[in-house]
Structure 1
C-alpha cells in the first residue's frame, strides 16, 4: 500500500492536485488511519426544521424525482459535516453506502474521515471532486464524490454541503455543473428567508456596492458580506479585526477609521444600519487604500509639491528609535551621507520607514525639500516629472521621489539617466518597495548609495524603543507606557506591515486603554492569536485561536476554560505550553 509520501512523489513534475495534497496533510496531522475502519462521530438527532433543511428540501425533492433507479446518491450535510439527509437512486447502492457509514447522523469532518467530498469542501470552502484513491482512507476508495458548499448570501456563511456520491466506476464529471446549479437555487431560498434586519443590511450593502468601486463589507453577528473587490483583499483573519475596529469606532461615535489588513493599510467609512445604535444591528464599511491619504499629507493641494522653507542648517532631530545592530548601522550610514550631496535610493518592505529615512537625510543635509509621489503623479503627466525634479535640484533643493516602482518604465528610465549623467552634486533620493522587476533594479543601480531598511520582523528588539516613541506621537497629551506582558506580545508578532502596522495597533489599543499603562487586555484579540514564538501549522493555529477565545470568554480562568473546551486541565496546560500561550495570570502569548 502506498504511503502518503510515496503518493505525493508519484508525479515529480506536476505533483498532486493542491486541494487533495492540502487535505491529505491535514488528514495525516489529525492521525486518521488510512487502512483501519473509520471511527466517525454519530448523532441521530436531525432537525427537520433547520434553516438549511427548509431551504434545501423543496429544491432537492424536485431533483430526486429524476434520479429513480440511478446508481447515485445525493447527500445534504450540515456545517459540522454531519449527513442530515440522504437520497439514493438504485437500491443496490444502499449496501455500499451503509458499509462506509455514508448515512444519516454520521460526521465526515476531515479530522475523522480524512479527504472526502463533505469534509474537504467545508475545509476548502470550494467545490471539490474526489475519486477513488484520492480519498485518504481506504474505506472510501470505492467511491467518487462532488462536494459543493452551500452559502447563505445574506449571512455570508457556509450553511452546509451538497454532496453527490456514487461508485467510482459510475462517476460522470457532468454532474458537477448540475450540482453547482442546484446549490445556487438553494442559496436563493436563503435570501428569501432572511429576517428584516438581515434584509436591511443586505439592502444597504448592495446600495453601497453600486456607488463605491473599492472593497465593501457588510457585518452583523454571524453574518459577513463582501463585494468582489473585498473578497480578494479581505481574508478570514481580517474579518475579526474589522468587526473589532467598527465596534470601537461606534462606541466613540466615529464613522471613520484605519485598518491594517493582510492586503495593506486601508481607511474605512462606516454606515450603521440603525442610526445611533451599536453595530449588532449591522454595519457597512467602505474601504479605501490609505496610501492616498498618506501621500496627500506630503503634498500641497492640487497634488503639486511645494518646497519647504527650512534654512540650510543641520537638523537636531533625534534618530528613529532602535537598538538593533541593523538599525544602528543604517543610522550610521545616513549620518555619513549627510556630509555629501550624492543620490540615495531607500529600499525595503512597505511600512519600514523609507520615507522617514529619506526625509531625515534631507533634513540632516539642510535646505529646501520637494516630495513627489508616484501614486499622486497618476493625475498628472508622468513625462513632466523628471523636468520638475531637475528644476528643484537646480534650485538647490533636496528631492524625494516616492514609490518609483509605481512609475511608468520610460519615466523610471529617465530618472536613471538623470542620475548617471550628473556631473556634480545631485541631492536626489528615491524610495522603492522591494521589487524584482528589472526596470526598477536598473533605475536604482545608478545611485551612488542604496540603503535597505530591514523589516521589523528581523529586529524585534527595536520594538522596546519604538513603542514609547509611537505612543508619544499618537497621544501627545497623555503619558502612557507599555506594560511588560503587553510588550512581550508585541515582540512575538511577525509584523508583516512593519512599523506602520505597529502604529495602527497601538492607536487602536490606546482607544481602549483606561489607565496610564497599556495592558495585554487592551491589545486587539486578533493580535494575541497571531503572536507566537514559532510558525504553527494551520491546524495548530486554529486550535490556538479556539483556546484563546475560550480563555478570553472566562476572564482567563484556566479551569473554566478547560470545562468549556471539554478537555482536562492537564491537557489544557500542555496545550498552553506547546502552542506558546503563557500560563501566567495575564493572557500573554
Structure 2
C-alpha cells in the first residue's frame, strides 16, 4: 500500500493526457485495464455500478443456480470467518453481475453505496478497473488496491478476485472476490480468493461426475435397445460423456470433444424444450432422449440413426459390413460354454437351419457369426434382422422387399429385402418368435421353395440362403399356445443350439470381466484397471439377468467412471450390491469380519480357486488379479485347507483333488493325484 501516492499521480497524469508508464509503481495489468476503461468511456466520477431490477436478479440467480449451489459451502464459511474481518466475499457471473455476498455485515452494508451488492454489475466497461471486472477481462487472478481502481469513489476499496472455470471443459463461469475497505488491507486476500475459487471448481467437478454417472447408467440400460445404432451421450453442457465408436467418427472435427456452442448455453435450469430444439438443429435426423435426475435435466442420449440413400437401387443393395468371428473368440473355459462351442463347431459345416436358443444377452449372434464363418457360406453375406419391436408392415418390407410403387410412400426405385441380400450367405433372424403369424407362412414358403416375391411384384427371384434363427422364448411352448406355426418351427429348428446363461458359467465371469475392462480401458486410452477382491465376490454372486451383455455394460460403465485404476465395491452399480447377500466393506481384508461371514469365506475360496484355474496355477498372476500380495494368497490357501508343501526346488499345491507343481519359474503345473 506504500505505493499508493505514486499510483495516484500516475492515475491523474493518465486522466490528463492519456499517457501510461508501467513500471515500478504501476503494473502492466493495471495500466492495460485503465486503457480499456478509458476506451469504454467510463466516467471516473461515477460512484455506482449499474444495478439490476429485482426480476433481473431473480433470473440471474436462477440461471447461475449450479454456480450458487457449488459455492454454498464457501459462502457459509465466509459468513463465519469474515464476519468480523472487515471483508466480504462476492460471487459474480460472467457479466460481472453480483449474485451472492457473505461476510462482515458492516462491510456488506457499506458496499451498497457503490452497488457492491447482489444485483450490481461490475464489468470493466461500466465501472472501470476493479477486481471483478478486471479478472473477467484478463481471465486470471488479480488484486486491485485502492487508487488502482479507475473510478475515484471506488478507490476506497481493496479487492482480490479469481476466475471460476468449469473443471470439465474450462468454460468461464464467474468470479469469486474478496473485498474490504482500503484501511483493512490484507495481503492474503488474493490467496483466499484463489482458494475459494478452486473449492468451487472442485464442487462443480463432483456434481458433474455424479451427473455423468447417471447418464452412463441410463446409456447402459438402453444400449441393448439400440445395438445397431450410433449413440452420443451428451451432458447438459454439450460435453460428450461417451459415444459408440462409429458415432465418434460421424462427429465433425470441431465437435470431437464438445458439441456446438448453442448446446452449451443451457446451464442450471430445466431446459428440455430448448435442449431438444438445439439438439434437433445440430442433429436433424437423430432421436433424442432427455435424461433427468431428481426432475433436473442432466443431459441426453442422441441416437444417430443410420440414413438410407434413396438415389439408386445400387445403394439399396450395398453389402453389409462383415464382422468376422471365430469360435476361438468366444471367451470362456467353463464346461457349459465349451460344450456349446463344440456342438456349434460340429453343426457349422452342414447347411441345416439352426435354432439358437438362450436368454437375452448370452451372445447368440456371436455364435451365429462364428457358425457362418466356419460354414460353406463363409464368404457370403451375413444379414441380421430383428423380428421384434417392428410394425408388421415394416417387417414384411424389410424381409421380402417391395416393388416400385407398391404402396403409398414406397421408394420410387423399389427395395431389396433382407432375404435377397442374404443370397449366397446367411440370414440371421433374431427374436423369430416375435414374427406375426400371417407372415410366418410367407417365410415358410420362401424356405421351402427357395423363391422370394417382393411385395407388389409377381416376379420370382431365386435365392440360396442358410437360416440361423435366434430366440429367448420357448418356441415349442409358443407352438402349443398357437402363437407360432408348427411347420415353420420344424423348418427352422432342424438343429437346436442352447447358449448357457452367465449364471451357469461362474468360472468364466472373471475372465469376461477382465476382458471387457481391458477393452474399455484401451478405447479410453487408459491402463487396464485391476479388480478389488470384494468387488469380484459381488460380481460372482450376482444373478446377471442380462447375462454377458449386462456384464459388458456394467464393466464398461465402471471403467469409464473410475479414476483410480482399481475397481472396487464403490464402483459397482447399486443394484448389484443390493441384490447380493454378501456385502463386504471396501476396506475389509480378505477374511474381514463381515455379516454372513460363512458365505463370504465360501465365495472367497471359490474366487481364489477359480482365479488359480484361470491363471493355470500361476500364483503370482493369481495374486495380481485378486489385488493381494502373494504371501497373503499363501495364507488364504492354508486357511481354507488347501494344503501345500515347500522344497528348495518346487512348491506343490492340492486344489480340489488335483495337485499342481510349481518349479522355480513361478507356475503351478498339474500332477497326478495319489
Bucket of the pairwise TM-score, normalised by the shorter protein? 0.3 to 0.5
TM-score (norm 2): 0.37
Is the radius of gyration larger for structure 1 or structure 2?
A: 2
